[in-house]
Amino acid sequence: MLKAIRRGLKRDEGFTLIELMVVVMIIAVLIAIAIPSFLGFRKSAQDRAAQSEVRNVLLSEKAFWLDNGDYTQVAADITAFEPNAVINANPTLGVTIDLNGLSSDIVCITRTAASGNSFSVWESSSAGTFYGATDLTGADCPAANPVGYVQGGW
């Protein structure tokens, strides 16, 4: 009798196609939500890394100025204070340093992040530190703080 009942019952083994499609659709929706957020966080992290590199070189410039009374654009002078600094003439490959043509008491420091955004600092021993989001490597470091640059950070 028990065998007859077992033969009559249908056994479910595995998932139906509809169940699998629902699971795949849920996973696809979660991925569609997560990828843009991840890319946004990645861009933000790249920008912060570039800003950090500029700040580290700025601190080295200030330390050099305290020792010598002038800023420098010599990479060896900066790496003496900050061994991990990457100084390069191309701001996409490292931090660029440019002195004002008339005064070595004014320095511009620029770095372009992997996200494509540029971050610069204009530093004067008398006027202070100004932060901006433009590339100051195209021309000589200006004698006055660039338009739109502010004190306190980006």
Q: What is the pLDDT of residues 20-30, one digit of tens each?
A: 999 999 999 99
Kindly state the average pLDDT of the residues 45-72: 94
For the record, the structure tokens of 35 come out as: 């990828």
Report the chain's mean pLDDT, rounded to a whole number. Answer: 88
State pLDDT tens for residues 12-52. 678 899 999 999 999 999 999 999 888 889 999 999 999 99
Return the ∠ at Cα 142 (arms to 137 and 145), rounded to 5°.
110
Nearest CA-CA partner of 120 in 66, 47, 45: 47
DSSP 117: -
Element (H, E) at 142: none
Kindly state the average pLDDT of the residues 76-95: 90
Query: What pLDDT does residue 101 have?
Result: 81
Contact 118, 110 (CB under 8 A): yes
Contact 85, 60 (CB under 8 A): yes
For the record, the structure tokens of 138 come out as: 């195209």
Residue 53, CA distances (Å) to 49, 97, 130 in order: 6, 12, 16
Residue 65 has pLDDT above 90, yes or no: yes
Query: What pLDDT does residue 37 have?
Result: 86
Domain covering 17-132 in this structure, CATH number:
3.30.700
Domain ranges of the chain: 17-132
Give the lowest-confidence range in 2-6, 95-99, 130-134: 2-6
